[in-house]
Amino acid sequence: MPAAERFALYLSKHRLKMTRERRALLEHVLSVRGHFDVDDLLRRLGRTGHRVSRATLYRNLPVLVESGLIHKVEMARGQARYERMVGRHHHDHMVCLGCGDILEFESPEVERIQEEVCRRKRFVMTGHTHQIRGYCGSCAGDGRARGKER
């Protein structure tokens, strides 16, 4: 099912309305590749003439998340980033403390162990965050890797 349709369906199912703002947001969110934050999105929307307020953005990103179209990535110190999830599957992140770059990794094995741990502890998992911090190849070379954990 195309993303726009999926979104429309989600909205009507929850008695939410398909507003101009939501349409603009959806469109932009689907076209970004990579990880983005609220300000990226706001700037992007502004540039193309769609005026969407910051409040509206903050109100609707969770809706996009709930509908499964994007995913929220919680970075250190509560900075949230998002990424399109249409046509992609779950993965986790490595964040470079040098250049801020975000690499992705996936490990079915880790996911399996998580499930196993939850089963053993009678814990019902609804989500998880798994982030590796450090320095990417290019940053690790030039002394920057000496930096301490932030």
Partner DNA sequence: CTCTAGTTGCAACTCAGTCTCAATTATGAT
Partner DNA sequence: ATCATAATTGAGACTGAGTTGCAACTAGAG
Site size toward Zn ion, by CB under 5 A: 4
Among 42, 92, 144, 145, binds Zn ion (CB under 5 A): 92
**CA–CA distance, 133 with 53 (Å, rounded to integer):** 33
- Give min distance, CB of 48 to a copy of itself, in A: 30
Interactions with a copy of itself, residue window 49-108 (CB under 8 A): 65-66, 74, 76-79, 94, 96-97, 103, 105, 107
- Give min distance, CB of 20 to a copy of itself, in A: 26
**CA–CA distance, 126 with 138 (Å, rounded to integer):** 35
DSSP output for 13-70: HTT----HHHHHHHHHHHH--SEE-HHHHHHHHHHTT----HHHHHHHHHHHHHTTSE
- Give min distance, CB of 87 to a copy of itself, in A: 21
Task: Using alpha carbons, select from 141, 29, 35 the residue that is nearest to residue 95.
Answer: 35
Interactions with DNA, residue window 51-90 (CB under 7 A): 51-56, 58-60, 77-80
- Give min distance, CB of 118 to Zn ion, in A: 13
Interacting partner of 52 out of Zn ion, a copy of itself, DNA, none (Cβ under 5 to 8 A depending on kind) = DNA
Query: What is the distance, to the nearest Å, from the Cα of residue 47 to the centroid of all Cα atoms in its chain?
Result: 22
